C-alpha cells in the first residue's frame, strides 16, 4: 500500500547546529505535505506545510523542500534551540484515497545545550 | 476557547471490556478523525468522518467503531475485538474536506488494558 518513510528515527544535535529530517512518499499524485511537531506529553501541531506546486518554503528558522521527481521532501531547522526538542512527523496526502493524510514514523530530535 | 476536547485523558480497561473515548469540537469543523499513536509507528488512521451521519474506515479500523450523530462529536469505541488496544489515541478535525489544510488535534487519551 501507499506509505511515507521518515528518517532518521532519532537525531541528536548541539544547540546552534542544523537538523535535517527526510521523508519519501509512494503516491506520485500526493499534493500536500505537512510537518507536525509533538512536544513530550502534548498534542501534535502543524509547523510548516508545502503544496506540490512549490519547491521550497521557509518560515524563520524552519524550511521544507520538495522534490516531486524523486518523491521526497525534507524539513530543515537552522540554529537549533533546546525548545526544538520534540518528535517531528511528516505526512503526505493520498490523492486517490480522498486526500487522506498518511504519516511517517516520526523523528525524535534532541537538541543539547 | 475554541478547540478539541478529548476525555478521559487516562483510561484503564480490563480485557474483554468495551470502552468509549469522547471527542468534542467547537471549531465548527466538518471533518473529524481518530488516530492511534504507538512508539515508532507514527500516527495511524482508525476512522474519519467528513459529514454528520457518515464515516469511513481508515487503515486500522478492525476492533473499533465510531458514530457521528452531531457535527461537534465523534466518539470512538474500542471493542473487545481489538487485540492490542493499549495505545495513545488522538482525535483531530479539519475545517472542510479530508486531507485539506491543518489538522487540529485534541490532547489525546491514553488507554491501558490491564
**Cβ–Cβ gap B100/A94 under 8 Å:** no
What whole-number distance in Å separates Cα of residue B91 and Cα of residue B106?
5
What integer pLDDT is reported at residue A38 of this predicted model? 95
Mean pLDDT on B76-84:
92
What integer pLDDT is reported at residue A100 of this predicted model? 80
What integer pLDDT is reported at residue B1 of this predicted model? 58
Instruction: Name which of B78, B105, B109 is nearest B92 in CA terms.
Output: B105
What whole-number distance in Å separates Cα of residue A104 and Cα of residue A64?
15
What integer pLDDT is reported at residue A3 of this predicted model? 87
Place of cell 503516491: A27
**Cβ–Cβ gap A99/B98 under 8 Å:** yes
Confidence grade of residue B2 (pLDDT, cut at 50, 70, 90) = low
Cβ within 8 Å of B, A 7-26: 9
* Burial (CB count within 10 angstroms: exposed 0-12, middle 13-18, buried 19+), residue B37: buried
| Minimum distance, in Å, between the CA of residue B106 and any CA atom of chain A | 6
Q: Which of A70-84, A95-109, B36-50 has the highest mean pLDDT?
A: A70-84
Side-chain-side CA neighbours of A10 within 13 Å: the count stands at 4
Cell of A29: 499524485
Instruction: Name which of B89, B44, B101, B32 is nearest A103 in CA terms.
Output: B44
B28-73 pLDDT per residue, tens: 999 999 999 998 788 999 999 988 999 999 989 999 999 999 999 9
Is pLDDT of A95 > 80? no
A77 neighbors A62 (Cβ within 8 angstroms): yes
Instruction: Name which of B30, B21, B28, B27 is nearest B99 in CA terms.
Output: B30
Number of CB atoms found within 10 A of residue A1's CB? 8
Cell of A75: 524539513
Is pLDDT of B99 > 70? no
Q: Is A103 on the interface with B (CB under 8 A)?
A: yes
Mean pLDDT on A85-106:
87
Q: Is B54 on the interface with A (CB under 8 A)?
A: no
Confidence grade of residue A34 (pLDDT, cut at 50, 70, 90) = very high
Amino acid at each position: 500500500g501507499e506509505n511515507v518513510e521518515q528518517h532518521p528515527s532519532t537525531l541528536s544535535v548541539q544547540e546552534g547546529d542544523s537538523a535535517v529530517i527526510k521523508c519519501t512518499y509512494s503516491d506520485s499524485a500526493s499534493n500536500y505535505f505537512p510537518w507536525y511537531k509533538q512536544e513530550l506529553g502534548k498534542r501534535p501541531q502543524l509547523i510548516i506545510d508545502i503544496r506540490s506546486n512549490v519547491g521550497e518554503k521557509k518560515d524563520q528558522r524552519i524550511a521544507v523542500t520538495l522534490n516531486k521527481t524523486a518523491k521526497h521532501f525534507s524539513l530543515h531547522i537552522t540554529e537549533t534551540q533546546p525548545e526544538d526538542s520534540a518528535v517531528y512527523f511528516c505526512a503526505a496526502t493520498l490523492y486517490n484515497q480522498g486526500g487522506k493524510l498518511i504519516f511517517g514514523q516520526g523523528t525524535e530530535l534532541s537538541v543539547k545545550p | 476557547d475554541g478547540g478539541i476536547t478529548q476525555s478521559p485523558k487516562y483510561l484503564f480497561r480490563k480485557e474483554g471490556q468495551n470502552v468509549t473515548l469522547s471527542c468534542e469540537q467547537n471549531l465548527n469543523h466538518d471533518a473529524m478523525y481518530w488516530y492511534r499513536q504507538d512508539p515508532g509507528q507514527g500516527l495511524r488512521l482508525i476512522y474519519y468522518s467528513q459529514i454528520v451521519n457518515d464515516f469511513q474506515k481508515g487503515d486500522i479500523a478492525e476492533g473499533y467503531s465510531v458514530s457521528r450523530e452531531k457535527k461537534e462529536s465523534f466518539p470512538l469505541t474500542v471493542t473487545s475485538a481489538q487485540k492490542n488496544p493499549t495505545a495513545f489515541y488522538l482525535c483531530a478535525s479539519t475545517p472542510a474536506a479530508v486531507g485539506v489544510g491543518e489538522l487540529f488535534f485534541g490532547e489525546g487519551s491514553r488507554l491501558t488494558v490491564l
